[in-house]
Amino acid sequence: MITLSVTLASLPFSYALSSSPCKPRASSKRPELRVVRRKSTMSQVMELEDESDFEKILTSKNRISITGFGSLLSERSARSTFPDLENFRIAKLVGFRRVFAHAAPIFFERGIANLETKEISSLSVESCEGESLVVTVFEIKRDEIPAFMQRELEFRFLAVVPETMEGKPYTNSAVLCARSSDEEFFRIRCKGNKEIYHQHYGRFNIEKIWRDDILPCRLYLRHCVLAAKNLGDEAYNNFLDHTFLGDRRTSIREYLSSSGSGIMEEEPPEALKSRYGG
């Protein structure tokens, strides 16, 4: 089997957040990111190109902080992936929004994707001035970085600075999995090799990863909503109102009260109840 590279050596290391108002995106092109000023401070985001860049943001305990915004809002889910994680807590992330805008192979592997209805999307985040997310942050071991990078191959890895719920910036940066593009994934991660792409996406008839015309995978969305609800009212309402479909207009609250009604009443298959139980 051909293995995907997780080195992004051809990409610039740092960039900043967009200072222009967010608008619906019609394509999956790489988003432009500029500087955001907030309370007379400069919030800088760094792109992590390879494992050595991850090591630059290690904590004093030789661990690395991870930002959870979807399934990792659930401590149970986080611990199923990172059994030795430490210091799971909620935080705020300024200047980003959640969007259901990319197809996820794991949903096909687990039999919970519906290609016919296009309910195949997972969550990513993208820069958006004026938006603020309630997220989770926790620390994992340094030796877990390569597996984390391999598992989240479709994303761009950013080093961001979350805040406490009271608005105090963290002293350590945390890793965030952000929106990428099909062009970057094929050129950099697949090295332009169609066989590599087929192993990860093509075998599921996914011809385009990042797209705006797909809907959330139903069990995954239910899981994320329940996970947010378990974190408290502020996290729950933030998820409903600051998470959007691919049109960037329809919030999850609106979706669940219209064409997505009934999703929260659906139960996962027995084998997936723990994994997708919130």
Range with lowest mean pLDDT among 28-37, 94-103, 169-178 = 28-37
Structure tokens, 67: 């930002």
Name the band, by pLDDT with cuts 50, 70 and 90, for residue 34. very low
Condensed to tens digits (0 to 9), the pLDDT of residues 71-119 reads 999 999 999 999 999 999 999 999 999 999 999 999 999 999 999 999 9
Question: Is the CATH code 3.30.70.20 the one for domain 14-18+31-272?
Answer: no
CA angle 144/271/211 to nearest 5° reads: 65
CA distance 143 to 239: 31
Within 57-193, residue ranges assigned H as helices are 75-81, 105-109, 145-151, 182-184
CB atoms within 10 A of CB 196: 20
State the pLDDT at residue 23: 55
Cβ atoms of 87 and 190 closer than 8 Å: no
User: Which residues are CB-neighbours of 125 under 8 A, at least 6 positions away?
Assistant: 69, 93, 96, 97, 98, 99, 133, 176, 177, 178, 179
Name the band, by pLDDT with cuts 50, 70 and 90, for residue 28. very low
- Kindly report the backbone phi and psi dihedral angles of residue 72, in degrees, each rounded to the nearest multiple of 5, phi listed first: -80, 5
CA distance 193 to 220: 30
Task: Label residues 125-149 b or e (16+ Cβ within 10 Å = b).
Answer: bbbbbebbbbbbbbbbebebbeebb
Cβ atoms of 224 and 73 closer than 8 Å: yes
State the pLDDT at residue 180: 92
Structure tokens, 208: 């385009």
Torsion, Cα of 148, 88, 268, 238 (10° steps): -100
105, 174, 103: which is closest to 133 by C-alpha?
174
